[in-house]
Structure 1
Amino acid sequence: MNIYIIGIGLIGGSFALDIKATNPDVSIFGIDANPDNAIEAKKLGVIDEVADFNTISNADVVVVAIPVDASIKVLQKTLDLIDDNTLIIEVGSTKVQIVNAIEDHPKRRNLLLTHPIAGTEFSGPSAAIRHLYKGKTNIICEIEKTAFKLQERALKLFADVGMRIRYMDPVAHDKHIAYVSHLSHISSFMLGKTVIEKEKNERDIFDMAGSGFESTVRLAKSSPAMWTPIFEQNKDNVVETLEEYIANLEQFKQHLIDNNFQAIYNEMENTNHIKEILKGITINA
């Protein structure tokens, strides 16, 4: 089987590593907008060969793992070039705009829309790691619009790398992911910004920052090139989540101003319920 990875970073590269480990007869070809990334990926053993779109018609599976603003054009281009037996797996963090852009393409049934809920704050070929997807949830949208034989091929690959499957419609996906992923990244970026602007002495930040601060701002190390398009494509949902988040922050501030520490205690105690919700779950980026 020939698998082409478009975008050889954390997501695409990690998928390539695990598929190769579980399917040794698979050949992995890499395409990346940055030629240096493709060369590095081959040196690291993430891919077998550097490729381009001129040979993509040879692919049995194509994984599109690039920023969501670039995905639409690349998906349309790839759908134009493949044959009827090729599966395209798209793995972006937003879905509605992609669905609207490709719904009338004559090869729509070759495309499977997915979102693996897995990741780290790192990017590029060197960020690819084994077992990134083991035990993680993979959200699939509009599976009924993908040809059944290609669904089976995709589900086999997902099972090989250890992913769990959940099905969701694109509108619900984009709304829910704004709360549990996109808002987390905004919070992390803005906390980092606040501290950098207030604490001008970098040594003070280094010496005084504890593990709580480090874990909270971890996502602020994420790629702006990846996350800015996500916020753009999911703007309405992100704005809604921010309004609710800001309202909660304002309420917390008012409790402090009013010396209402019982209300603060109650807020935190009620929120402690999150421990039960997340019990036994590995937190993903």
Structure 2
Amino acid sequence: MKVVIIGVGLIGGSFARDLRKVFPGAQITGADHNETHLKRAVELGLIDRPAEDLDLREADVVLLSIPVNGLLKQLSEVLDAIGEETLVMDAGSTKAEICRKVAGHERRRNFLACHPIAGTEFTGPEAAISGLFEGKTNIICEVEQTAFRIQERALELFGKMGMRIRYMNPEAHDRHIAYVSHLSHISSFMLGKTVIEKERNERDIFDLAGSGFESTVRLAKSSPAMWTPIFEQNRKNVLETLDEYIGNLQGFRQLLDSGDYKGVFREMEETNRIGEILNGIPTQKN
């Protein structure tokens, strides 16, 4: 199997690690706008060598794991350069605009729009880890637009990596992911900003921050270069989620301001149900 990975950071590098496990003989080449990352990916054994133009034409699989603004620019160019039977897939956190971008491309049938729900707050080749995709959900959009035999190749690969598959249309994907991912990152960034601005003494932050703060602000270490284009492409949905989130914060503030501690308790108690939802326990309806 010949594979080209465009973007050899956390997702691309982890994909390469897992790919070598399930297809030990795979020939993996890579491309990255950061030459240091590309060199490091070779040193770490994530890829065999930097990719050349001919590698795209001969590739069985091409993965684009780059920021979504880069996807809008490069996806069509990649589809122009591939062979007739090449599977091209992405790992972007937005789907609607990307799918619209290639809707009329003559090789749209070669592209599978994907979003593996996997990752950490770290970036670069050193962030790549084995088993990142095991047990994770991979959302596939517009599967009917991809040639069936190419779909089969992708599903075999995902199955060997232990991924769960969920099918969704691009608009629904972007709407739902705004709540469960994009809003989480904004909340983390703004919590970090609030603490930095209020607590000017960094030693106080270090000494007083507990595990709760650390886990809540973890996502604030994520790359702005990756997340700004995501917020741009999913602006409408993100604004809607922000309005609802801000409304809830204002409501909680009002409870505190009025001394309604029973209301505070009730708000938190009702929200405890999120633990059952995340653990897959069916919600009991009265």
- TM (norm. structure 1) is 0.97
Instruction: Tell me what 1:28 maps to.
Output: 28
Judge conservation of contact 2:4–2:55 (CA < 8 Å) in 1: no
Q: Return the alpha-carbon distance in structure 2 between the equivalents of residues 135 and 57 of structure 1.
A: 32
Q: Return the alpha-carbon distance in structure 2 between the equivalents of residues 43 and 68 of structure 1.
A: 27
Instruction: Tell me what 1:178 maps to.
Output: 178
Once the two structures are TM-superposed, the CA of residue 52 in structure 1 deviates from its matched residue by 3.3
Give the letter for the 2:29 counterpart.
F
Query: More displaced, 238-247 or 81-90?
Result: 81-90
Q: Return the alpha-carbon distance in structure 1 between the equivalents of residues 181 and 97 of structure 2.
A: 18
Instruction: Tell me what 1:168 maps to.
Output: 168
Q: Return the alpha-carbon distance in structure 1 between the equivalents of residues 162 and 47 of structure 2.
A: 20
Would you identify which runs of 4 or more consecutive aligned residues in structure 1 move more than 2 Å? 52-55
Once the two structures are TM-superposed, the CA of residue 99 in structure 1 deviates from its matched residue by 1.1
Q: Return the alpha-carbon distance in structure 1 between the equivalents of residues 264 and 229 of structure 2.
A: 36
Q: Return the alpha-carbon distance in structure 1 between the equivalents of residues 59 and 273 of structure 2.
A: 47
Instruction: Tell me what 1:249 maps to.
Output: 249
Q: Which secondary structure state, in structure 2, belongs to the residue aligned with residue 119 of structure 1?
A: coil
Once the two structures are TM-superposed, the CA of residue 184 in structure 1 deviates from its matched residue by 0.1
Once the two structures are TM-superposed, the CA of residue 280 in structure 1 deviates from its matched residue by 6.6
Instruction: Tell me what 1:262 maps to.
Output: 262
Q: Which secondary structure state, in structure 1, belongs to the residue aligned with residue 276 of structure 2?
A: helix
Instruction: Tell me what 1:271 maps to.
Output: 271
Note if 1:211 corresponds to 2:198: no
Once the two structures are TM-superposed, the CA of residue 53 in structure 1 deviates from its matched residue by 3.4
Once the two structures are TM-superposed, the CA of residue 73 in structure 1 deviates from its matched residue by 1.6
Instruction: Tell me what 1:92 maps to.
Output: 92
Write the mapping of 1:42-61 to structure 2, written as runs, cut at 5 A.
42-61=42-61
Give the letter for the 1:130 counterpart.
S
Q: Which secondary structure state, in structure 2, belongs to the residue aligned with residue 30 of structure 1?
A: strand
Judge conservation of contact 2:94–2:234 (CA < 8 Å) in 1: yes
Unpaired segments of 5 or more residues in structure 2?
282-286
Once the two structures are TM-superposed, the CA of residue 247 in structure 1 deviates from its matched residue by 0.2
Instruction: Tell me what 2:78 maps to.
Output: 78
Identity of aligned residues (%): 62
Query: More displaced, 19-28 or 241-250?
Result: 19-28
Instruction: Tell me what 2:37 maps to.
Output: 37
Q: Which secondary structure state, in structure 1, belongs to the residue aligned with residue 119 of structure 2?
A: coil
Judge conservation of contact 2:56–2:83 (CA < 8 Å) in 1: no
Q: Which secondary structure state, in structure 2, belongs to the residue aligned with residue 166 of structure 1?
A: strand
Instruction: Tell me what 2:284 maps to.
Output: none
Q: Return the alpha-carbon distance in structure 1 between the equivalents of residues 35 and 86 of structure 2.
A: 25
Q: Return the alpha-carbon distance in structure 2 between the equivalents of residues 266 and 36 of structure 1.
A: 52
Write the mapping of 1:189-200 to structure 2, written as runs, cut at 5 A.
189-200=189-200
Instruction: Tell me what 2:133 maps to.
Output: 133
Q: Which secondary structure state, in structure 2, belongs to the residue aligned with residue 229 of structure 1?
A: helix
Q: How many residues align?
A: 281
Root-mean-square deviation over aligned CA pairs: 1.0
Q: Which secondary structure state, in structure 2, belongs to the residue aligned with residue 92 of structure 1?
A: coil
Once the two structures are TM-superposed, the CA of residue 54 in structure 1 deviates from its matched residue by 4.5
Q: Which secondary structure state, in structure 1, belongs to the residue aligned with residue 134 of structure 2?
A: coil
Query: More displaced, 224-233 or 72-81?
Result: 72-81
Q: Which secondary structure state, in structure 2, belongs to the residue aligned with residue 217 of structure 1?
A: helix
Unpaired segments of 5 or more residues in structure 1?
none
- TM (norm. structure 2) is 0.97
Q: Return the alpha-carbon distance in structure 2 between the equivalents of residues 124 and 115 of structure 1.
A: 19
